[in-house]
Amino acid sequence: MGVSGLWVRRLAFVSVVVNVGIVVTGGAVRLTASGLGCPTVPYCTEDSFVPTAELGGHGVIEFTNRTLTSVIGLVALATLVAVWRDRPRRRDLLGPAIALLVGIPAQALLGAVTVLTELNPWTVMGHFLLSMLLIAAAVVLWVRSNEAPGGTAAVVPAPLRLLTRGLLAVLAAVLLLGTVVTGTGPHAGDPDSPRMGFDLAVVSQLHADGVLLLVGLTIALWAGLLAVRAPQRVLRAAVALISVEFAQGLIGFVQYFTDLPVLLVGFHLLGAGLVNVFAVRLYLSMRVRLPLAEAGVTGAESAGELRPELLR
């Protein structure tokens, strides 16, 4: 049984790209102080759906980001239709495809609340974290669409899979702390927007500590994978994640000690999305799909020993 259709695989990859992209464009709105460029929803002003000349460039930037949300919605809808029409229909793809489509109105609603509360940092935090969840769902869909249908079996020992789950939990904490730093520091999206009120040095240090823990766990995981002679694709996924984490950490430290220049903050947002992508991809690389005939014997999530040819 082959992998999913070409359109499913292509649209799944596009879903990853656009969901990472909207994080970057949303960051551009905040970094250019355009968060209230369109001061109301769903119209840009009380009398106009599109930005008026009086709103200037800020209105154009904010409205463009809103328009991109519609593009992501169309991609999500097209992806779900492609998954539904694909034969044989795969239930393991329907879940993440539905999650991506449902996430669009949820994001739109949260975005509306964010504007109406004049960029309350707590709602901005929720907006970003929901994007991270949608990115993870898109990666799951993309990886699965490139695999044949069937059950799964582990290719690394259970302790290393458990360590990877811990790594994902630490990543979630790092992303959360990153939003707290953002909600405390400058670049609020509008000069009059409220801030969280924490000590910026303290929350930045906590975020940095989380990053160091994340990188340390990833290196330890890579060493463990080497020790058990994990498949090359798993080792490559681990190295890729370490590389992205190092780049992201470097950007984070440089931006902090250079007073948060806008361009570096934008790259840091991109890096957050990419770390999320590569971390989920690493976890998914730790199992293989079995042919449907064998899946009934092996089970949906086997932790037993695999045949040697599956480990290559």
Amino acid, res. 168: L
Kindly report the number of other CB atoms within 10 A of residue 15's CB atom: 27
Residue range of the domain that includes 196: 151-312
- 119 and 259 belong to one structural domain: no
The pLDDT value recorded for residue 290 is: 77
What percentage of the chain reaches a pLDDT higher than 90? Answer: 54
Residues of the chain with pLDDT under 50: 1, 293-305, 307-312
The SS3 assignment for 204 reads helix
223 and 100 part of one domain: no
Is 56 in a helix, a strand, or coil? helix
**Which pLDDT value is given to residue 301?**
39
**Tokens 């934008």 label which residue?**
266
Q: Are residues 84 and 167 in the same domain?
A: no
What region does 4 belong to: left with phi over 0, alpha with psi -120 to 50, or beta? beta
Structure confidence at residue 59 (pLDDT): 86
Distant-in-sequence, close-in-space partners of 176: CB < 8 Å, separation ≥ 6: 125, 129
Q: pLDDT tens digits, residue range 7-45?
A: 999 999 999 999 999 999 988 888 888 888 888 888 888
Report the distance separating Cα 63 and Cα 32, nearest Å.
Answer: 13
Q: What is the pLDDT of residues 256-266, one digit of tens each?
A: 888 888 889 88
Q: What is the pLDDT of residue 132?
A: 96
Spatial CA neighbour of 157 closest among 281, 286, 279, 278: 286
Same domain for 95 and 212? no
pLDDT for residue 309: 38
Residues 157 and 117 grouped into a single domain? no
pTM assigned to the model: 0.89
* The pLDDT value given to residue 174: 96
